Amino acid sequence: AAVTAQGATTFCAGGSVLLAANTGVGYSYQWNNNGSPITNANTANYTAAVSGNYSVTINNGSCSVVSAELPVVVNAVPVATVTAASATTFCTGGSVVLTAGGSGTYQWLKDGLVLDGVTTQNYTATASGNYRVIVTGQSGCTAGSTAVTVTVNPAPVAAVTVQGPITFCAGGSVLLAANTGAGYTYQWYNNGVAITNANTANYTAAVSGNYTVIMTNASGCTAQSSAITVAVYANPV
């Protein structure tokens, strides 16, 4: 009675190895793991998928003999997870910290591509994509997490066009025009203070100050324009 392994006898969970007993006319077989018979394991070959010391009992009709034991080691696969510390949908300039779960070493991937050099347990994602991590345990077994989808919404482009001189005498004015876009909303400011009811794309400035506009797009992202300085001079008496 002899057992031959048809592959490596140390492997990761989910793998297996084919164990082959020697054959002969009229032979019958009973496979054993750690000395206990394995149910329905009665052929010349047996596929081992769990750890243990495997042997086979061979009977030729008159006599039986047990082979030497062959150790099989099945190493556990690590648990791989990804947890987001905050919302995974945000505006340009934001980020989310992704934390890998599972003990071992880590390799992050984005959209299925390896992120070179990104091997820490935490990763700060700033771009849209599907992020996952591969965890390698001490035994060398690996597991991949499910993907976490990060969506980064673009902020609007905030710009103001001046439709005339920005220096003039009291009683005059200048039209300030913000760029437009689908779903944009507006709030105009003078010297950092919101101007009441100034919520359209255009604003007519008639007093001195530094004018800006904050624009919000349909996804809720905002952007502030650079300031336009308007100088209004008093008329002589």
Task: Dump pLDDT digits (tens) for 170-188.
Answer: 999 999 999 998 899 999 9
Task: Dump pLDDT digits (tens) for 131-181.
Answer: 999 999 989 999 999 999 999 999 999 999 999 999 999 999 999 999 998
Q: How far is 217 from 206, CA to CA, in rounded Å?
A: 27
170 in Cβ contact with 108 (< 8 Å)? no
- Provide the pLDDT confidence category of residue 102 given band limits of 50, 70 and 90: confident
Q: How far is 12 from 73, CA to CA, in rounded Å?
A: 8
181 in Cβ contact with 156 (< 8 Å)? yes
Q: Phi and psi for 30 in degrees, rounded to 5?
A: -145, 115
Decide: pTM greater than 0.85.
Answer: no
Task: Dump pLDDT digits (tens) for 190-237.
Answer: 999 999 999 999 999 999 999 999 999 999 999 999 999 999 999 998
Task: Dump pLDDT digits (tens) for 26-80.
Answer: 999 999 999 999 999 999 999 999 999 999 999 998 999 999 999 999 999 999 9
3-state helix, strand, coil in the chain (%, to 5): 0, 50, 50
Token pair listed for 66: 């047990």
